[in-house]
Amino acid sequence: MLRRGASLSLGLVLSCAPRALPPRAQVDVPVRGVETHRRSSPPNPPACPELQAEEGYPPWHRGLVKETCVRGARGRWQVRADDSDPDGWRHWLDFTPTTGSDAKAFSVEVVAPMALALRSDGAAVVVDLKDRVSLIAPDGELVWRKAFPRCGYAYSVAIDYDHHISVNCGYSLLHFEPDGQLAYQKWPFGNHSLGGPWVDRDGTLYLSGEGTVVALNPHGKEIWRVSTGFNRALSQLGWLPSGDMVFDTSMAELHSNPEQTHGLRIYWQEEPPELFVISRTGKIVSREQHDGEPTRGWPEALPYPEDGSHRIPEP
């Protein structure tokens, strides 16, 4: 059962005739160390430990660096700070194999990682505070490392079937080819933070922000946009077995009424949250206002992890 969370998250197109989209790049980057044997039982990689609060006052960038941990069929990838570096830039990416796996444990040095995700072949993608994206093979080899335009803080990464990489960075979406080349950078909600991205089986990208959910095709062209209400904060709860997406919204506005605030000039007026179910074609399937737990309870939605391991069927 998933619990409700909260997460604070333009343009004129002139065209005389529609133009065909360029073909989708099918570039793949082969990596070494991929296991080819099949398992007779589900893998059970080591669990990710709970993060511990850091004592004392950390360096300025330490609050931007995540000691991320993701799990795949082959094992666990975990970012670990190097205690010998007083500035807090140097980290290690530790790989711990699943019990019974042919893989070997190793550690790779990384600098100020902000986001970590796994490709379907077991390779790891790391986005760091130095505005670089790196691909590390399942055996620990650095395959490539590419710089990208400065965009702020990288919140999350999604990887599609073809190994294209999408990064939520600042107010923009960065989209990379499988070889690390930057394909495009877009600002779907202008000067507003993003939620997501979440990627579908066919490469469709879904993002939220400014009370809106938007779908982009693999080339970054907008397919549809649906609003849940002005100035709402959207939290994506997961996928239903049907493929519909579940969002919870919240909103608070600034008001001024001294009679209601004991002489204070302003106060926040909250509205009841709403639970939205939105189809993959941009239709609002249902919406339910709730105060606390919804009447029918929280939906049994499938979580969408950032490691790209969850795939939903075609529409």
pLDDT band at 137 (very low <50, low <70, confident <90, very high): very high
Dist. CA 252–CA 241, nearest whole Å: 32
Domain residues of the chain, as ranges?
Answer: 189-315
Dist. CA 294–CA 272, nearest whole Å: 11
The whole-number pLDDT of residue 248 equals 83
The answer to whether the beta carbons of residues 1 and 196 sit under 8 Å apart is no
The whole-number pLDDT of residue 302 equals 62
CB count within 10 Å of CB 246 equals 22
Model confidence over 241-251: pLDDT tens digits? 788 888 888 76
Dist. CA 33–CA 122, nearest whole Å: 9
Nearest to 127 by CA among 75, 202, 64: 64
Dist. CA 237–CA 102, nearest whole Å: 35
What contacts 196, CB < 8 A, 6 or more positions away?
156, 158, 168, 205, 206, 207, 208, 236
Dist. CA 272–CA 293, nearest whole Å: 11
**Between these two residues, 86 and 4, which has the higher pLDDT value?**
86
pTM, rounded to two decimals: 0.73
Q: Is the pLDDT of residue 284 over 50?
A: yes
Dist. CA 240–CA 277, nearest whole Å: 9
Q: Is the pLDDT of residue 25 over 60?
A: no
* Single-letter code of the amino acid located at 19: R
* Single-letter code of the amino acid located at 210: E
Give the sheet arrangement for strand 69-71, strand by strand: 69-71, 75-81, 90-97, 106-111
Model confidence over 84-104: pLDDT tens digits? 988 888 999 999 998 888 889
CA-only gyration radius of the chain, Å = 21
Strands 233-239 and 154-159: what pairing?
unpaired
| Per-residue tokens: 65 | 């660096």
Residue 1 CA, distance from chain mean position: 20
| Per-residue tokens: 277 | 């179910």
Give the residue ranges of DSSP H helices in 48-162: none
| Per-residue tokens: 81 | 């700070």
Dist. CA 220–CA 222, nearest whole Å: 6
The whole-number pLDDT of residue 67 equals 62
254: helix, coil or strand? strand
The whole-number pLDDT of residue 257 equals 63
| DSSP assignment of 159-173 | E-TT--EEEEETTEE
